[in-house]
Amino acid sequence: MHMAIKILVENLPSDITEDRLMDVFSQIGSVESVKIQTDLLTHRPKGSGYVEMSLDVDAYRAVNCFNGATFKDRKIYVQVAKPFYERAVQVLRQHLNEMTQQRDERRRTDRTN
């Protein structure tokens, strides 16, 4: 069964538009949606975005074709996007590890004082 897959595109030029990104990825296959990430306050592009390809085979082909390619004098990085819950768990684990390290550091300094 073929299904749409979202891919992450990083290191995009700041003047890229969603229409242009759709044109580029449409060379590989049918694109369902494109979303360029923007800063919430300034609304300026963050340099990354998501492209949802209609077929999984096209998504993997786009990753193979465009990852490491030069686009408008910038090397872009393309990979299959992790589902939201996987990213959320990864961020929570990282935060928990940082909190644990801070706690352990406080305990070490408390013992030496």
Question: Looking at the structure, do residues 75 and 98 belong to the same domain, yes or no?
Answer: no
Q: How many structural domains compose the chain?
A: 2
Question: Looking at the structure, do residues 48 and 64 belong to the same domain, yes or no?
Answer: yes
- The answer to whether the predicted template modeling score (pTM) of the entire model surpasses 0.75 is no
Question: Looking at the structure, do residues 40 and 93 belong to the same domain, yes or no?
Answer: no
Q: Which amino acid is at 74?
A: R
Question: Looking at the structure, do residues 23 and 5 belong to the same domain, yes or no?
Answer: yes
**Are 23 and 51 a contacting pair, CB within 8 Å?**
no
pLDDT in tens, the chain (113 residues): 567 899 999 999 989 999 999 999 999 999 999 999 998 898 888 999 999 999 999 999 999 999 999 988 999 999 998 776 665 667 778 888 888 999 889 888 888 76
Q: Give the distance between the most distant pair of CA atoms in the chain.
A: 65
Question: Looking at the structure, do residues 23 and 37 belong to the same domain, yes or no?
Answer: yes
Token reading at 43: 């609304």
**Are 12 and 21 a contacting pair, CB within 8 Å?**
yes
User: What does the alpha-carbon distance between residue 2 and residue 29 come to, in Å, rounded to a whole number?
Assistant: 13
CATH number at residue 54: 3.30.70.330
Question: Looking at the structure, do residues 74 and 89 belong to the same domain, yes or no?
Answer: no
Token reading at 37: 């990430």
Question: Looking at the structure, do residues 61 and 90 belong to the same domain, yes or no?
Answer: no
User: What does the alpha-carbon distance between residue 20 and residue 18 come to, in Å, rounded to a whole number?
Assistant: 5
Question: Looking at the structure, do residues 34 and 46 belong to the same domain, yes or no?
Answer: yes
User: What does the alpha-carbon distance between residue 36 and residue 8 come to, in Å, rounded to a whole number?
Assistant: 10
Structure confidence at residue 68 (pLDDT): 95
Question: Looking at the structure, do residues 17 and 56 belong to the same domain, yes or no?
Answer: yes
Question: Looking at the structure, do residues 54 and 102 belong to the same domain, yes or no?
Answer: no
Structure confidence at residue 69 (pLDDT): 94
Range of the domain at 87: 82-113
Question: Looking at the structure, do residues 16 and 61 belong to the same domain, yes or no?
Answer: yes
**CB within 8 A of 37, min separation 6: which ones?**
45, 46, 47, 48, 49, 50
